[in-house]
Structure 1
């Protein structure tokens, strides 16, 4: 059996169990049906299926479990939903790429530089084992390279970029560094102590993006969107603190609880006349000042 056929079979098994838990007989029936539709032989024995379960966990980190009371197989989505959701998303992309014989004719990739994801495995090792990092970092605003040290606490993703978050041992300040601007990474043998109180999800709870909180307390923000833009905001919320206050034919009005960082300001600015800031006043003034500067630029 070819690798392509095996991967296609894994796809059928995973997609079947994503929809609902199934007995081995139901999985066999699905494989038999797909064999007819795709002109492959996906039919397998119970022993081969058990081997597939192990391979799926090894390759995709998708754990297929067995319910002895119901005698069904299932994928548990309750534990670490976000991570498993991303794993399944990656699986969908991988499977789509795998079955496409001529990728250039069917898939258009975004043209961009590598994201530094080659560092992920080493960084996770350093985070797990409390090992200090040394690396060279490129700063956009200074246009130069600096040698840095970091006690890594966590990894964070924002807008298709990955960042390592940790403590700067020079001044004890929590900082973040983009992986695509990081080079000459060295994982040292120097151990550090991570404070038990630090939790990356809690640290960024009221932050939009990667910039650390720059205020003592987050702001109560109210935004009004055009009805059309509101459809996008409802299907892809700006932030997990988003709460709908009003949803009519005239507007979608939401509230957020956030620190007003540069990342958030640029997000609002990018929406142009599709959004109006209701509060706070200082965000309204900041936007008006930027709009005035734009008007001067084009006069």
Structure 2
């Protein structure tokens, strides 16, 4: 039966090999070392055998390309497997046989988003945030697909709709930026210590006081935290009791009150509820929602 340490090593090896560039043994070992996993030759060979027995994936060495690749049947869903291994690593799911894994994967339906990608960095990022150490990484631009290197001061990790994001300060730009963990690679915690300045700390705290991810302190540094009152239908209210809109949410009868910075993502979320919600306060937000709904109706 594989231990969590074994599952973690298997996960890292599979993830790196799936980049399809035929990584060498040295490349794989260096990759694992970045995640504080150091192993020797015997453990590496044992891990390749474990991947074969635990996940029915053959890791093969290509002598012409001097690197490894993964071989399995053409219908194999690697995205689902990586997500499942991530669950196994972070929970009490332990697989005793390949048959167990195959059976459980049949019951797992995931949306086509890179849920698992990047979550392996959360522990190290939290360590860097707590220790106030700058970090270096490559980030792939969502629109252009281009890679760019960054050295930043990490301030906050935020989960939103199943994805994780890093809110960090770039000293050269004197500005904060948001980075999706699924697009971060080659993460290195440097030896450079930074001081969490009070002004920047307040800015990072404001990022935690929004719905979603859109917060641009450079454009609106004095954005206030406002009270928002929303009246919901009984059906939607039950849903929001289980999955709150925001950490500040309180409920009184069928009225939900939020205390946060109003941004476009909050407006979009309110509109997505359609007839299930009415904005009571503030009046400025109520008017904007009315205008946007009227404009939407005019399209039909």
Instruction: Classify 1:154/1:241 alpha carbon distance in 2 versus 1 (closer, same or farther; 3 Å).
Output: closer
Which runs of structure 2 are paired with 1:82-101 in the superposition (5 Å)?
94-95=91-92, 98=95, 100=100
Find the aligned partners of 1:93 and 1:133 in 2 and give their Cα distance: 24
* Structure 1 residue 244 corresponds to structure 2 residue 243: no
CA deviation map 1:68-125 (0-9, x unaligned): xxxxxxxxxxxxxxxxxxxxxx789844564855113333233322431232243234
* CA RMSD in angstroms, aligned pairs only: 3.4
Structure 1 gaps of 5+ residues are 8-89
Q: SS of 1:255's equivalent?
A: strand
- How far apart are the structure 1 equivalents of 2:155 and 2:137? 16
1:253-278 CA-to-partner distances (Å, cap 9, x unmatched) read: 22211111233222212212211111
Q: Secondary structure at the match of 1:220?
A: strand
Looking at structure 2, the residues matched to 130 and 97 of structure 1 have their Cα atoms a distance apart, in angstroms, of 35
Give the 3 Å change call, closer, same or farther, for CA 266–164 of structure 1 in structure 2: same
How many residues get paired?
Answer: 208
Q: 1:205 to 1:188 in 2, by over 3 A?
A: closer
Instruction: Provide the residue aligned with 2:160 in structure 1.
Output: 158
Residue 264 of structure 1 aligns with which residue? 266
Equivalent residue number for residue 103 of structure 1: 104
Specify every segment of 5 or more residues in structure 2 that has no aligned partner in the other structure, as ranges: 5-86
Query: Are 1:154 and 1:200, in contact at CA under 8 Å, matched by a contact in 2?
Result: no
SS of residue in 2 equivalent to 1:294: helix
Cα shift at 1:196: 5.9
| CA–CA separation in structure 2 for the residues paired with 1:200 and 1:95 | 37
Counterpart CA distance in 2 for 1:220 and 1:127 is 30
From 285, 290, 296, the counterpart of 2:287: 285
Give the distance between the partners of 1:253 and 1:194, measured in 2 at CA: 38
Structure 1 residues 178, 123: CA separation in 2 closer, same or farther (over 3 Å shift)? same
Whether the 8 Å contact between 1:116 and 1:182 is mirrored in structure 2 is yes
Counterparts of 1:224-239 in structure 2, within 5 Å, are 224-239=231-246
- TM-score of the superposition, structure 1-length normalised? 0.57
Structure with the greater alpha carbon radius of gyration = 1
Change (3 A) 1:288 1:107: same
**C-alpha separation in 1, matches of 2:191 and 2:293:** 51
Q: Residue 170 of structure 1 corresponds to which residue in structure 2?
A: 172
1:213-253 deviation line (CA, Å, top 9, x unaligned): 655321121111112111112233222322223x2xxxx12
Q: State the Cα distance separating 1:137 from its structure 2 match.
A: 2.8
Structure 1 partner of 2:213: 210
Kindly state the Cα deviation for residue 143 of structure 1 after the two structures are TM-superposed: 6.3
TM-score if structure 2 supplies the norm length? 0.57
Question: SS where residue 223 of structure 1 aligns?
Answer: strand
CA distance in 2, matches of 1:165, 1:237: 22
